A and B are shown apart, each in its own frame.
Chain A
């Protein structure tokens, strides 16, 4: 493997990882409040379509759109759409005490439906598949750090060849980590997820924390959706379900990080590395494996290599459940609605 392809692999892993890093950091915050939100793919979809639609209407109605205004519209619309998704989930599970898993799955169906419906319509409006483009916003969001990104050869390629939302993801992950481990509100939030009755007895409003954590988490997930549209696929739309798959990987990554946002940083990149591995496994190995699996064409093996992130998640899941270390487990009351008068 050449150095160039390794650098390309790492760069691809980082872009991929950023999408799921947003998703999983948002979901960690949500789960720390005891809400297991399986609606992450749906919320990321909402964020994605929110940003795309907002920019589309701005850029299409404007002969010379300002990229930075368009980028701001993308962010605001993504946050708003995702927030609505988070509110819906919170209302259903916290106020109406609906089952969290079922609500989350419904939100995924609904969010995916909304996004692909409007996404498809936008594609049609702009003249067919691949035609939609919100170039201004996308280019603004993919703006690289000046100077650093082109003066240091391979270091620039490795570290500074990304849009600034790539770095924001890391900042948010570390900030979330700081929030959870160092601040009073983080402490209170963790208590709500671990033992809501205790938190309640300590005078913490369980409902408020669950709402806030879930909605904030949803907004972070929404940024992931926006990043997907604006950076990962460069201001177009994809109706093929790729974002849903990424959303589920984000949920899986939460377990991989043992609910610590700082682990999501390297975990997400590792997942990205695993995800793109299929392009970089030496063809010699692939040829041997292809023979073993009866594949006529070596490239067919890529399909199997793409299982790797999921297999890794399962293995981690089993190891974690076998070890049973308290600090690495999910919040103790995850998935359970809280009702004070229920014994």
Chain B
């Protein structure tokens, strides 16, 4: 009888540049139990588990597996220790069959392989835990749920006893989720250690034995699930409500600027990224969008900016200043921009879209209107002046206006982007994650800028991560939950818990 402790992590720290992703986290994983790791986006859940899986290497701290101190430098090491992780982005070779993916990289004495043997063993595993998988199917023909099943089978085939699943239900339908849970329970009774990375409270409560909570890279607590309630978990996850001193004047003279109806967008995998979302945005107010990241925020903003293919029932009406109505569906991004609809989108990799990393501030200022005027040459003096103004106004630290923006710090990059959009005097200003990676003072600069725009009569749509900020900055909050609109709330009266609950649980009436 072995000790039930499978993994012990002791004061593990991981930094990415100046960002501390995990700050001296200590925790245990046991055999025969399902452990949930709960936390908001950016709380460091995935990073922590990646260190067990051999993707990252810890800067400090020790890891013990089965009581022995280990060094895990590659996924291969992790496999040999019996640790298998199912990543959010599946590690599968598209043109291979399921069976080929399963035996990929396995050590064996034989040079050739017999797919028949593999198929037999796969069938055995499937029977044991109730999987349904065709070993001969090609991965690119599979649904997302099938791919996930394949990942699990692959790990079991390798004899893993410690399974880590990163947000496994994010892409599954409720029925598929139920099936997955049954399988996980079966594996638990088989004595395996199972770690579930999640931010969904209902899953935690339904499935797990214990729950470990991380917040902003720090270990908060571990609670046995029987004594946990939604309330306790939410509070531990989001923390105390922080009072922010953001000046929030009441909206004045609001006018309807945008009316979105039945917005449906399919992602590349054919999954609904947005499902029938409808809302209005008004000039003179800030509409906050709350939601776990990846719940359709990106698609929402891009659809309005004309960068997404939308379902045929969708309608997005823009109400111009002269009172005319314009349908934005089917209109080119450039024309939408000329109407005054501006998207200042800060994607996950900050420089992937919106800014050209190798160019300086001056040239980035003209990204959207470089082609104005009849001359075949760029008008650099105008944008140099604009860059100078933006730099002064937003206090951007850059060696020169010609310094490639990739060399600026994250905060300054953000300010360049937001500064450019504001300078274009938009009627609708959309920003996503505008303060990601900024310290508190720089964040306030951005908040004040947005509020200023609001008071000028601009319709501001603000996609945010930090609930405290959303509650203090926005006038109304629309909650997105897995691509659904899950309530549009008055930001002045709603509680943080209520928003948090709607982010993670689809309300029944929808």
Contact = CB atoms under 8 A, between A and B. Distances in A.
Nearest to B107: A203
A185 B75 CA distance: 18
B111 interface: yes
Contact of A187 (B92, B94, B103, B138): B103
A139 to B, nearest CB: 37
A43 B108 CA distance: 34
B111 A185 contact: yes
Interface string B374-416: 0000000000000000000000000000000000000000000
- Determine the interface band of chain B, counting residues with CB < 8 A from chain A: 20 to 34
A326 B140 contact: yes
A198 B86 CA distance: 12
Interface in B99-115: 100, 103-106, 108, 110-113
B412 to A, nearest CB: 22
A197 interface: yes
A204 B96 CA distance: 16
A202 interface: yes
Interface in A172-227: 182-185, 187-188, 190-191, 194-195, 197-204
- Determine the interface band of chain A, counting residues with CB < 8 A from chain B: 20 to 34
A327 B113 contact: no
B95 A198 contact: no
Interface in B268-318: none
B95 A194 contact: yes
Interface in B68-113: 74-76, 79, 87, 91-96, 100, 103-106, 108, 110-113
A343 interface: yes
Contact residues of A: prevailing secondary structure: helix
A183 B91 contact: no
A332 interface: yes
Contacts of A200: 74-75
A327 B97 CA distance: 12
A203 B105 contact: yes
B414 to A, nearest CB: 19
Given A184-B111, A187-B100, A191-B104, A327 B95 contact: yes
Interface string B127-138: 000000000001
Contact of A184 (B55, B79, B92, B103): B103
Given A202-B105, A204-B104, A184 B93 contact: no
Given A199-B104, A200-B75, A326-B140, A332 B113 contact: no
Given A183-B112, A184-B112, A199 B95 contact: no
B91 A201 contact: yes
A117 to B, nearest CB: 40
Contact of A191 (B55, B105, B113, B138): B105
B151 to A, nearest CB: 10
B63 to A, nearest CB: 18
B393 to A, nearest CB: 33
B93 A198 contact: yes
A194 B105 contact: no
B349 interface: yes
Contacts, number: 69
B75 A187 contact: no
Contact of B91 (A182, A184, A190, A202): A202
Given A185-B111, A326-B140, A197 B100 contact: no
A268 to B, nearest CB: 24
Nearest to B75: A201
Nearest to B95: A326
Interface string A239-250: 000000000000
B47 to A, nearest CB: 13
Contacts of B110: 184
A198 B87 CA distance: 11
Given A182-B112, A326-B140, A188 B95 contact: no
A199 B76 CA distance: 10
Nearest to A184: B113
Contacts of B75: 200-203
A185 B113 CA distance: 10
Contacts of A183: 111-113
* Among B74, B91, B93, B110: residue with most chain A CB under 10 A: B93
Contacts of A191: 93, 96, 104-105
Nearest to A202: B105
B111 A332 contact: no
B359 to A, nearest CB: 22
Contacts of A204: 104-105
A195 B94 contact: yes
* Among B87, B111, B140, B349: residue with most chain A CB under 10 A: B111
B140 A203 contact: no
A190 B113 contact: no
Contacts of B138: 326
A188 B112 contact: no
A200 B77 CA distance: 11
B74 A203 contact: yes
A326 B105 contact: no
A285 B112 CA distance: 53
Contacts of B79: 203
B95 A187 contact: no
* Among A184, A197, A202, A332: residue with most chain B CB under 10 A: A202
Nearest to B92: A198
Contacts of B113: 182-184, 187
Interface string B427-442: 0000000000000000
9 contacts: A183-B113, A184-B112, A187-B96, A188-B105, A190-B96, A195-B93, A199-B105, A201-B75, A343-B349
Interface of B: 55, 74-76, 79, 87, 91-96, 100, 103-106, 108, 110-113, 138, 140, 349
